[in-house]
A = this chain, B = another copy of it.
Amino acid sequence: MSRRKAPKSVVKRLPVYLRILDNLIRRDVEIISSRVLSEETGFTAEQIRKDLAYFGAFGTRGTGYNTSYLREKLLRIIGLDKQTKIIVVGFGHLGKALTRYNAGKNRYVDIIGVFDRKPGETGIEGLEVLTMDKLPEFLQREKVKVAMLTVPAEAAQDVTNLLVKNGITAILNFAPIKLDVPEHVYVHNADLTTELQTLIYYSSEDERHHHTE
């Protein structure tokens, strides 16, 4: 089904298409053109067609894309056709927020464990908060591949080593630190401080331009 390996830039947009399709299907829209998808996503229509064409010819010339069909294809491409088991490590405010949000609204993933250094935290949605010593056995038993990491920066590398040693291959890292991981492990940094600072750059961009020629 999939050709070569898809460029990062394409992969980043796939979940956006999926989200739009979910909305369209909820509104009983059955056919969608790349032009309309373009309006909904903000990407150009050509780009959308190219992105989808990477994985196959899913549309009908002269008509557009069947929303349900395309959704099925995307689910399969992204790997969401079967539920993905996920753990959250670090049960501070951010960890809680992520757990609650994904346990509730995100139908495609399944948070099966939350961990924190200190015991006694009360869980969410029937999930017990386990202490870190339970982690290795848990990961190996459940064969979890994906982790959201919300521990403090000081602890992040040590925890990461533990995760990787026990089979994790993808980490959504919220700690403001570059994680060292082996080749086969994929890390996506979601450092909110950094993103906020980038935003501030743009918030004062106009002023800056007045100062200079």
Contact = CB atoms under 8 A, between A and B. Distances in A.
Contact of A102 (B148, B193, B208, B211): B193
A184 B206 CA distance: 9
A100 B194 CA distance: 16
Interface string A165-202: 00001111000101000001010101011111111111
Interface in A42-85: 42, 77-80, 84
Given A19-B194, A196-B148, A203-B169, A97 B93 contact: yes
Given A93-B93, A101-B192, A204 B145 contact: yes
A55 B124 CA distance: 48
Contacts of A100: 93
A120 B64 CA distance: 49
Contacts of A106: 193, 196
Contacts of A136: none
Contacts of A26: none
Interface in A93-111: 93-94, 96-98, 100-102, 105-106, 108-109
Interface string A11-29: 1101110110000000000
A9 to B, nearest CB: 11
Which has the most chain B C-beta neighbours within 10 Å: A86, A170, A200?
A200
Contacts of A84: 200, 203-204
B186 A199 contact: yes
A210 to B, nearest CB: 11
Contacts of A78: 197-198, 200-201
A205 interface: yes
A93 B88 CA distance: 15
A161 interface: no
Given A15-B193, A172-B199, A178-B42, A79 B204 contact: yes
5 contacts: A15-B194, A79-B200, A80-B197, A94-B101, A101-B192
